[in-house]
Structure 1
Amino acid sequence: MENSTTQMMCHLSQLIDDAPGPIYAKVKQAICRQIDTGEWQPDQRVPSESEMVKALKVSRMTINRALRELTDEGVLIRQQGVGTFVARKKSHSALFEVHNIADEIASRGHRHHAELVEITLAKATMEEAMNLGVRTNHRIFRATIIHFENDLPIQIEYRVVNAELAPDYDQQDFQHNGAYHYLMKVAPMTEGEHLVEAVLASPAECALLQIDASEPCLQIKRRTWCREQLVTNARLISPGSRFQLFGHFEQ
C-alpha cells in the first residue's frame, strides 16, 4: 500500500508545473488529470491530506481546499474516518443533443450567417487549462463569433479550442460555418455536455445582440470530446426572446 501511495504521489507531483497561478488549483488540475487518464480509478482511495502535504511540499490549507472543492464538485468522495476516494462517474440522460446552429436555422427555412469578431492563438490560462484538461500554457484558440438568423443576431459564441487537435481552426470560413465542419472532420465529436443557465448579458453583449439590458438571456456552457480528449469549451449567449431549447425523452 505504501509503495502504491508513493507511486501515486510521484505521478501527481510531475503534473504540477511552475506556471503562475494558485497552488490549490494546480493540485485540483493534477488530480483531475490522473482521474481522466485512468491512472486513478473509481472507488480507489487517494492519498491522505498528510501524505499530499509531505510529498508536494505545500500547506495543509492548500491541500484541504483542493480536496474540499473536488468533493463538492463530485469528483471525489470523502468518508469520515475512512478516507477520500475517487467518485464513480454518474450516468446522465441527455435532455437535448448538440446540434449545428446553422442546420437548426436552415430547418426553419431561414438564412444563417456568422461574423468572426475576434480569434487569437494563445497559451491557456489556469481556468482554460482545467476546462480543456490540458496543462497551463498549452496552445489554444480563443474565438468570439456572432450567429445571425435572417440578419438578426441570435447567439454570441465564445469558444476555446485545443490547438493541438485543430491546428488550422483560425484559417476556416467562419461566416459560412466552415469552422464547425472543420472541427467535425479533424476531431469528430463523440461526447458532449451542457450546462444551461438564465443570465443577463453584459453591456457589450447587449450591443452585439441588439437587445435591451433588461432582456433575460439563455447561457449554455458546452464541452465536447473526441474519444478521450477534450476538443472545445464554449459559452453561448442567446436572447430569451429569440432562442429556445427543445428536448424529447421517453421513460
Structure 2
Amino acid sequence: MSTVETADADSGGSLHQRILSDISEKILSGAWAPGHRIPFEHELTTEYNCSRMTVNKALSQLAKAGLIERRRRSGSFVRRPQSQAAVLELHDIRIEVEALGLLYRYERLEQLKRRSNAEDRALLGLSAAGSVLWIEGLHFAGERPFALEQRLINLSAVPEAGNEEFLEIAAGPWLIGRVPWSEAEHRIRAMAADEAIADALDIDPGAPCLVVERRTWSAEHPVTHVRFIYPAESHTLVARFTPSQG
C-alpha cells in the first residue's frame, strides 16, 4: 500500500472534511473572491498528501453546495453569488445583495443633464423634447460588480432629480421614495457584453449578460427608463402567479 493510500485510510475521512473546511472558509471569508481559481486536483493532492479520489470527492461536494464551479479542462473556480429577483416587483438591488450575505455598495460612473434626443424620447415614451437626466452607476456585492445600471429620468415629471448627485445612492430607491408609480413595464433579454460593459462588470468581452429594462409611469406621465445589466451566471428572475379568474 502506498504512503498516500495509508494516509487516507488512517485519516478515517478527516482529510476529506479538512479540504472541505479549508476551501469553504476561504470562500466564505472572501479570501478567495468569485472567479478565483481553486488549486488543481494534483496540487491539492500534494498539499494534503492524499489520494486524487479524496480531493475529487471534496470538490464535487463543494460544487453541489454551489460554492464552486467545475469547468472541464480549465479547473475549478469560486462561483459568483446568484441572486433571485421577482420579475413583477420594483425591487431594490441593495436588498438582493444583502440577502446573499454580502456588503452592498453603489458607485456613480457618469451623470449628465441634457435635452432629450430621439432615442431618449423613444425609451421614455415621450411625445415632445424636454430635459432628461442620464445616470450610469455600478452596484457591488462585496468587492465584485453585481449589476450595471443605465437610467434616464424625465425631469418634466421629477424636476427635483436634476439637483441630486446620486454619488452613493442609486436613483431607483430615491425615486420610489418620492414619486408614486402607477404603472410599470418590464422587458427581459440576453446580450453579449461589449468592451465597455465587460470592463465595468469585470467579465470577459462577449460573456453572456441578462438585461432587465423597466419603464415606470406616474399617472400618465413617463418617469424613468432603466436598464440593469447582470452577468448571466449571477442572477435569476422568478415569476410567481396564479391562474386567471375568467
State TM-score, norm by structure 2. Answer: 0.59
2:89 paired residue number: 97
SS of residue in 1 equivalent to 2:227: strand
- Match of 1:244, SS state, is strand
Aligned residue among 174, 180, 183 for 2:175: 183
Supply the distance in 2 between the matched residues of 1:174 and 1:232 (Cα, whole angstroms).
15
Partner of 2:67: none
Aligned residue in 1 for 2:216: 224
Q: Compute the displacement of 1:155 (Å).
A: 0.9
Amino acid at match of 1:131: L
Tell me which residue corresponds to 1:109.
Answer: 101
Decide whether the 8 Å contact of 1:162 with 1:231 is kept in 2.
Answer: yes
RMSD of the TM alignment (CA)? 2.0
**CA radius of gyration, larger in:** 2
Moved over 6 A (4+): none
Unaligned segments of structure 1, at least 5 residues = 1-93
Going from structure 1 to structure 2, the CA distance change for 1:149 and 1:160 (only over 3 Å counts) comes to same
Contact kept in structure 1, 2:190 and 2:211, CA below 8 Å:
yes
Shift in Å, 1:192:
0.9
- Structure 2 unaligned residues grouped into runs of 5+: 1-85
Change (3 A) 1:95 1:210: closer
TM-score (normalised: structure 1)? 0.58
**How many residues are treated as equivalent by the alignment?**
158
Which deviates more, 221-230 or 174-183? Answer: 174-183
Q: Is the CA contact 2:187–2:213 (under 8 Å) kept in the aligned structure 1? A: yes
- Mapped pair 1:119 → 2:73: no
Kindly state the Cα deviation for residue 177 of structure 1 after the two structures are TM-superposed. Answer: 2.7
Q: CA deviation at 1:96?
A: 2.9
Identity of aligned pairs, percent?
29
Q: CA deviation at 1:175?
A: 4.8
Matches within 5 A, 1:108-147: 108-147=100-139
Q: Which has the higher contact order (CA 8 A, sep 6+)?
A: 2
Question: Which residue matches 2:145?
Answer: 153
